Amino acid sequence: MSSAACDTREWRALDLDGVLALGERLGVHARGGEVLLLFGAMGAGKTTMVRALARGLAITRPDRVSSPTYNICVEHAGPHPLVHVDLCRLAELGDDDAVSASDAAFEALGLGELAERMARVDARELLVVEWAQLWPDPPADALHGRITRASDDPGLRSIVLTATGPRALAWLAALADEHR
């Protein structure tokens, strides 16, 4: 995240309904070509956020959005198709061959090509990547979302969204304008 222009917004003490509402509003404000990189511990609420975002995107079957941990990449149809990637399984690669296996996995996934597709002016899809810290070279124009559990109440979440790049900045600004 070394873009010169960036903006950060934070939501604290969100219950499940708050997380769902924020995710849905993110989907409503997406125009196509956005990239959302999600960070957070297991069970933080990354997939819950993606499911809500799918509702906001008017994905044909948002109920089918689940953790793609075993599939790694799942595409969901809709006016703005959702490409949902979960890199968690790549963390399980052994230390001995981790670098070469990881490189091969990223090449097979085609994440570089997906990122290039999102950068096109006419892109209609939205790319969401869970466990994004495992992506060695994510796009510079992205919305970085960090989801954490509240230390005093495991039912509450804090969500920090940081936009880097023009498309992500516009996406976050549209969401922020709604809350003014």
Q: Which residue, chain included where needed, has tokens 């990223």?
A: 106
Confidence of residue 22 (pLDDT cuts 50, 70, 90): very high
Range of the domain at 58: 8-178
Which pLDDT score, from 0 to 100, does residue 162 have?
98
Q: How many structural domains is the chain composed of?
A: 1
In a domain, 2, yes or no: no
Strand ranges in 23-171 using DSSP code E only, listed in sequence order: 35-39, 73-76, 82-86, 126-130, 142-149, 157-164
Cβ neighbours of residue 154 closer than 8 Å, sequence gap 6 or more:
none
Decide if pLDDT at 3 tops 50.
Answer: no
Confidence of residue 102 (pLDDT cuts 50, 70, 90): low
What is the pTM assigned to this prediction? 0.88
Mean pLDDT of 67-90: 81
Q: 167, exposed or middle or buried, with CB in 10 Å at 0-12, 13-18, 19+?
A: buried
In a domain, 107, yes or no: yes
Which pLDDT score, from 0 to 100, does residue 68 have?
58
CB neighbourhood size of 55 (10 A): 17
In a domain, 3, yes or no: no
Decide if pLDDT at 129 tops 50.
Answer: yes
User: Can you tell me the distance from the alpha carbon of 174 to that of 38, in angstroms, rounded to the nearest whole number?
Assistant: 19
In a domain, 26, yes or no: yes
Mean pLDDT of 155-160: 96
In a domain, 80, yes or no: yes
CATH number at residue 53: 3.40.50.300
The answer for 45, left when phi > 0, alpha when psi is -120 to 50, beta otherwise, is left
In a domain, 1, yes or no: no
Query: Is the CB of residue 47 less than 8 Å from the CB of residue 68?
Result: no
Q: How many CA atoms lie within 13 A of 79 on its CB side?
A: 9
Confidence of residue 97 (pLDDT cuts 50, 70, 90): low
Mean pLDDT of 45-65: 90
